[in-house]
Amino acid sequence: MEEMVKVYLYGKQYEVPASLTIMEAMEYAGYQLVRGCGCRNGFCGACATIYRIAGDRELKACLACSTKVEDNMYVATLPFFPLVKEVYDINEVKPTQQIMMQLYPEIYSCVGCNACTKACTQSLNVMQYIAYAQRGEYEKCAEESFDCVMCGVCSSRCPAGISHPQVAMLARRLNGKYIAPKSEHLYQRVQEVNEGVFEKLIEDLMGKPLEEIQELYNHREIEK
């Protein structure tokens, strides 16, 4: 028989297999995750979770899809965190230090506590990419924040009220629009798609059974 552990989901006790992730444990306990989470027809980062192990004072953060349950784990999810999202037209803004000062001036109130980095569910160096953003080094900020899934846990721990994921998103957009070299083969492929070059191929693919599609995907040719 599989080992079972005791977990508390939203304050209610359940016994679940020890091999499950938090997300799987929630479904095992009867919760139906039908929207929000990326692996459940939503967006990645929506399963941000905070938990505490009984007897341990430390409050921890993670993603429910990739963290296994532990015995006596108390769990609460954060499906949405109210980040500050400024409105701008990427075609109007430019990759200058002034644009970050204008849109997200709170980043210059960073006290260097590193709470954002410690809380990050992806183990990113969040404080470092904010420092890059402060200096207008958007290429470095984009690279450092590339794996951010915008769960918002970093911002929930920030005493300066910085919306780190939105700062990172602006940096990546500025980098992609103005700094990174243009991908000529991408433009060519988009043109081919618009011209209908791949319509027959897509129709043939959609008619194949799921197992064959998975096999084709797993053995696809990947450009270097």
Which tokens hold the place of 10? 């939203």
Who contacts 213 (Cβ-Cβ below 8 Å, separation ≥6)?
Answer: 205
**Mean local confidence (pLDDT), 104-128:** 95
d(CA 150, CA 48): 9
Tens of pLDDT, residues 8-32: 998 899 999 999 999 999 999 998 7
d(CA 179, CA 94): 10
Who contacts 33 (Cβ-Cβ below 8 Å, separation ≥6)?
Answer: 23, 26, 27, 40
Tens of pLDDT, residues 60-99: 888 888 899 999 999 988 767 788 999 999 999 999 989 9
Which tokens hold the place of 36? 């929000």
Q: What domains are there in the chain, each with its CATH number?
A: 4-77 (3.10.20.740), 83-208 (1.10.1060)
Q: pTM of the prediction?
A: 0.73
3 state SS of 56: coil
**Beta partners for 12?**
9
3 state SS of 6: strand
